[in-house]
Amino acid sequence: MSQKNIIQTPLYKGLQYLYAFLMTNIYFIISNILIILTFFSIPTSFSSIPLYYIALIPMGPSLIALFYTMGKLHREKIIQPTKDFFQSYKKNFFISIRYWLIQLTVITILSVDIVYLISKGYRIWTIISIIAWCFILIATINGFAILATFEVKVKNLVIFSLLMIKNYFLKALLSLMTLLSFAIIWYGYPSEATLGIFSIVVYFLMRTNYSALFDLKKKYSSETGEQL
């Protein structure tokens, strides 16, 4: 069998995907060593929330890098994990930090509210807060997906991420279900799943929202003047 034929075999392509998932996942874990060390050294409690908040701040650039590499893998079917991950990490560092700080702050506040409301037994307000938490989580995912695909200012990034939920509500629900499904898998098999689960989750999220992203580009780039 010639080298060209070997490259075109399903086995070879599968190994390429496996390599891409594994390497980008490793880089994502290394980039988030601060929150990992915090998780294993500081017990999760109400009083430790500020420490976890600080430890999560560096996750922004690594999230955008992971979304970028997985989006490129879906579009082009092949990537250079090391080059693509760290180029995106460096290029989008400051804008991803600004956007992530906004979203992380809102998610943290809502998380504190949920814990407080549960402790007080306010069921209705707890349900409302959980729905709001899920809404912000999906908006955050949309924002990183947009930022990983186009050049957008932070103020418009927040607007576009919310518009994606409004215009593509079923895709938003599918993204949420994807997160919940992989969270269950990770909870059941944490050691094995950690090796590749982050990159695989983001790959599915980018694949789910692929058409919505480019519909968004066609609909709003001319209206806003963004380089979308």
Give the C-alpha separation, 95 to 89, whole Å.
10
What type of residue sits at position 28? F
Taking the C-alpha atoms of residue 65 and residue 90, their distance in angstroms, rounded to an integer, is 9
| Residue 158 banded pLDDT, cuts 50, 70, 90 | confident
Backbone angles phi, psi at 21, to 5 degrees: -60, -45
What was the pLDDT predicted at 189? 74
Mention every residue, 6+ apart, whose C-beta is less than 8 A from residue 205. 67, 70, 141, 145, 175, 178, 179
pLDDT value of position 198: 92
3-state class of 227 per DSSP? coil
DSSP H helical ranges for 121-153: 123-149
Average pLDDT over residues 160-169: 89
Q: Structure pTM?
A: 0.88
Tokens representing 30? Answer: 């290394």
Per this entry, what is the length of the chain?
228
CA dihedral (190, 99, 214, 133) in degrees, to 10, reads 60
Q: How far apart are CA 152 and CA 168, in angstroms?
A: 19
Confidence of residue 215 (pLDDT cuts 50, 70, 90): confident
- Determine the distance from the C-alpha atom of residue 52 to the mean position of all C-alpha atoms in its chain, rounded to a whole number: 18
- Mean pLDDT over residues 14-32, rounded? 93
Summarize pLDDT for 97-124 with one digit per residue, the tens.
999 999 999 999 999 999 899 988 888 9
Nearest C-alpha neighbor of 101 from the set 150, 39, 54, 161: 54
The Cα–Cα gap between 173 and 208 comes to 10
For 42: left if phi > 0, alpha if psi spans -120 to 50, otherwise beta; the answer is beta
Cα(106)–Cα(50) distance, rounded to whole angstroms? 13
pLDDT band (50, 70, 90) for residue 79: very high
Q: How far apart are CA 67 and CA 171, in angstroms?
A: 17
pLDDT given at position 156: 86
